[in-house]
Structures are given as C-alpha cells and as structure tokens.
Amino acid sequence: MKTFTTPGPAALMVRFAAGRLYVRTAADDHDQTATLVDVQPANPDSSADVEHAAATTVEQRGETIELIAPTSKGWFGRNPRLEVRLVVPAHSRVDADVKSADVQLAGELGEVFVATASGDVAVEHAAELQAR
C-alpha cells in the first residue's frame, strides 16, 4: 500500500483494463490529509495478474495521484486483472478509464468521470457525474 500526502481533495487518474476499482472517502477528519492506494492482483495465483500488478505505476504529480497499468494482453486476449483500492479525502475528483472492470465509488466525491466498456458502475455520491 502506498500513502500520498493530499491535504485537501485529491485528483485521481486511474487507467487499467480489467478487474475491480474501489474508491472510498476517508471516514474522519484525521484521514483527510492522505490518499491510500493499494494495487493487488485479482487472482494471486495467476502469474499474469501478479506481474501486471507489480508493473502498475502509482505516482503523485502535484495534487493528482496517477495509477496507470501497462497495456498488455494475456493468453487468448485475456487482460490481466487488478484489484485496486483507494481511500481519498472527501470531495476528491475521480477520472477512471477501465476497459472491463467493476467500479464502486463510496462516500462524498467531487467530479467523477468513469469510462468502461463492460463492468458495473456504482456511485454513492458525486458533485458531478459523467459515465460512458
């Protein structure tokens, strides 16, 4: 798990092909100064998933936390799958572009942009929402 200092709402940019994305806002004021990011293989027994999780980059650029998985396909065109969990300050912005992943956003978020070709999207609260 990585921790980034974000003294106010963060801006997330998330890019990966397959798996599950879960973002929730911090539960109390003490947690409002950091963003926590955890990237795991969806199947820890799959070497493709494990290698893909290890190759995923997570960096902070100013107030933006960028999570970018490499573009790759496994056997028979199957994308390696990730399990991505983030805890962010309230009112954070989420920009997620996933190909075949479920997206679950919990808590009070700011602007939310979600693009997915297939997968379920659930958003508890967003100041503004665009989904495609």
- The set of residues, in sequence order, having a beta carbon less than 8 Å from that of 127 and lying 6+ positions away, is 91, 109, 110, 111
The average confidence (pLDDT) of the chain is 91
Distance CA 101, CA 89 (A): 23
> What percent of the chain has pLDDT above 70?
93
pLDDT in tens, 5-62: 988 899 999 999 999 999 999 876 556 789 999 999 999 999 999 999 999 999 999 8
DSSP code of residue 92: -
Using the predicted structure, report yes or no on whether residue 63 has a pLDDT greater than 90: no
Look at the pTM and tell me if it is higher than 0.85.
yes
Residue 49 backbone phi and psi in degrees, to 5: -65, -45
Q: What is the pLDDT of residue 33?
A: 85
Cα 31 to Cα 46, 49, 73, 87, 120: the distances in Å are: 33, 30, 37, 9, 28
